[in-house]
A = this chain, B = another copy of it.
Amino acid sequence: MPDKSLRMRRAGGASPVKRPVMLAIAGDSAAGKTTMTRGLVEALGPERCVSLCTDDYHRYDREERKDKPFTALHPDCNHLEIMEQHLQLLATGAPVLKPVYDHSTGQLVRPELVEPAEFVIVEGLFPLWSKLSRACFDVSVFLDPPEEIRRGWKVARDTTKRGYTEEKVLAELELREPESAAHIRPQRANADLVVRFAPIEGRDDPEDTPLSATVMMRPTIDHPDLTEVLAPGLSRAMHLELERDHDGRPAESLHVHGYVPREESLAVEKAIWTALGEPDTATPDCLGRLGDTRSEPLAIAQLLLLYHLTDAAR
């Protein structure tokens, strides 16, 4: 039937479609994906962005999962082939009718139309799962908080917003651990950036000090040059280090301490913004927002992603 393929291609129309810039924000449950996304969408402008969550591709609802020998973190528990298909469609500028998983009820409900905007942000457990899904993204980040931090975040969220008891959340975390290790955490190796929010060991900062961030920048994409603004000795609260990742691969790591003074972090933000060729506009002040408080490490991590999104759109 090669004639049919040809007919389909020809009937597909010739109007050139604008392709969106696609960002993957991968990480385990409650790793901070939605917080990261929120600041980016606000900075870019909600009308220029579409964000979606791959949790919607759950194959079974909460009730059905009870009988299954795996959790929602297992590939077989998700329509990953359909997720890949939808990512490809969005990446080529086509709309998709996306399934919808309702976290408050645990049910799969009526799907919704998603039309690609200038920027498509895909967060979830599986965006970097396969070679094909990875090929759909221009930039990718993996959120990698220490497990005890993530556990605290998950308990806080699931007991308030998703109607679980703390006991149930902790039991679920334990059940999920082997599948997280087998299927979610390996995606860390395929991200352009790995962001880890954590307290600094050995320091005794006041309780309201934001977490510090380590932003590993892999040479899989071109990052802004920060060697000058972060030359050794210039800042005590931020530094740049050439490191080896767990697997020995080289990467550059930007360390931003939670107690960094605003002036110092502003200098780095300015350097990133200037590298983008936009030295005259101020950096968006919605970055770094954490509820009512502000986190300089979060702001810098978000600005780096913003840099890559803006750069890829050119």
Interface residues, chain A, with chain B CB atoms under 8 Å away: 1, 4-5, 7-8, 10-13, 19, 61, 79, 81-82, 85, 88-89, 91-92, 94-97, 99, 107-111, 113, 130-132, 134-136, 138, 312
16 CB-based A-B contacts, threshold 8 Å? A4-B91, A8-B136, A10-B135, A11-B130, A11-B132, A11-B134, A11-B135, A61-B110, A82-B96, A85-B94, A99-B110, A99-B111, A108-B110, A108-B111, A109-B109, A110-B110
| Pairwise interchain contact A132-B97, C-beta atoms closer than 8 A | no
Q: A85-B94, A109-B110 are in contact. Are A1 and B19 (CB under 8 A)?
A: yes
Q: A82-B97, A108-B110 are in contact. Are A138 and B11 (CB under 8 A)?
A: no
| Pairwise interchain contact A113-B12, C-beta atoms closer than 8 A | no
Q: Among the listed B92, B111, B131, which residue makes an inter-chain contact with A11, where contact means beta carbons less than 8 Å apart?
A: B131
With A5-B92, A12-B132, A97-B97 known, 7 other A-B pairs at CB within 8 A are A1-B19, A4-B136, A8-B91, A11-B130, A61-B110, A108-B110, A109-B109
User: Chain B nearest CB: distance from A115 CB in Å?
Assistant: 9
